[in-house]
Amino acid sequence: MPIILGALLVIFILLGIRLLLNSNPKILLAIFKGLLGAAAFLAIILLILSGRLVNVVVGLIALIPLLPALKKFFMGEEKSKTPPSFSNLSSMTREQARSILNIDENATEKEIKAAHRRIIQKIHPDQGGSDYLAAQVNRAKEVLLKTD
């Protein structure tokens, strides 16, 4: 008997996949929305009958502060319409580089590397920082360490 039920299940799954592949996407979307709405309605009814609706509502209210982060996660962060320009990095002066790394004119190679490390740890893209700022800091280090 279990073999027959398993075979029937496989047949129904294959027929369902065939139906999904040959159907109109708009109709499938409408069916999916209807099923989702019915499932939500049934879930609310079951929560009311079990007396747990209040717990769910309180839990959802507790999630309100996370909505901006969830929106960024699911929708993707809005990209700037004009990407940062990396072309001006090549024209960085030594004065600008010292200003970026916050060091004086007489800084040694060791001090330059230490300042670079300290700043890049804070603004690195892997730590949530900006690609542009990290590129500026890296370029400042290159400019100051370059031997003429």
Domain boundary among 23, 44, 75: 75
Residue 82: inside a domain, yes or no? no
Low-confidence ranges of the chain (pLDDT < 70): 77-90, 147-148
Task: Please indicate, yes or no, whether residues 39 and 7 belong to a single structural domain of this protein.
Answer: yes
Task: Please indicate, yes or no, whether residues 50 and 105 belong to a single structural domain of this protein.
Answer: no
Task: Please indicate, yes or no, whether residues 67 and 118 belong to a single structural domain of this protein.
Answer: no
Task: Please indicate, yes or no, whether residues 93 and 122 belong to a single structural domain of this protein.
Answer: yes
Domain boundary among 47, 75, 103: 75
CATH of the domain at 126: 1.10.287.110
Tell me, what's the pLDDT at 68?
A: 84
- Provide the domain limits for residue 113: 87-145
Tell me, what's the pLDDT at 103?
A: 92
**How is residue 85 annotated by DSSP?**
P
- Overall size of the chain counted in residues: 148
Total domains in the fold of the chain: 2
Instruction: Output phi, psi for 63, to 5 deg.
Output: -85, -10
Q: Which residues contact 69 (CB under 8 A, 6 or more apart)?
A: none
Task: Please indicate, yes or no, whether residues 71 and 51 belong to a single structural domain of this protein.
Answer: yes
Tell me, what's the pLDDT at 77?
A: 61
Task: Please indicate, yes or no, whether residues 69 and 103 belong to a single structural domain of this protein.
Answer: no
Residue 98 · residue 116 · CB < 8 Å:
no
Task: Please indicate, yes or no, whether residues 15 and 41 belong to a single structural domain of this protein.
Answer: yes
Task: Please indicate, yes or no, whether residues 100 and 65 belong to a single structural domain of this protein.
Answer: no
Cα 30 to the center of its chain, rounded Å: 29
The rounded distance, in Å, linking the Cα atoms of 85 and 91 is 12
Tell me, what's the pLDDT at 127?
A: 80
36-67: pLDDT as tens digits: 999 999 999 999 999 998 888 888 888 888 88
Tell me, what's the pLDDT at 63?
A: 82
What Rg value do the Cα atoms of the chain yield, rounded?
Answer: 29
Residue 143 · residue 94 · CB < 8 Å:
yes
Q: The whole model's pTM is what?
A: 0.41
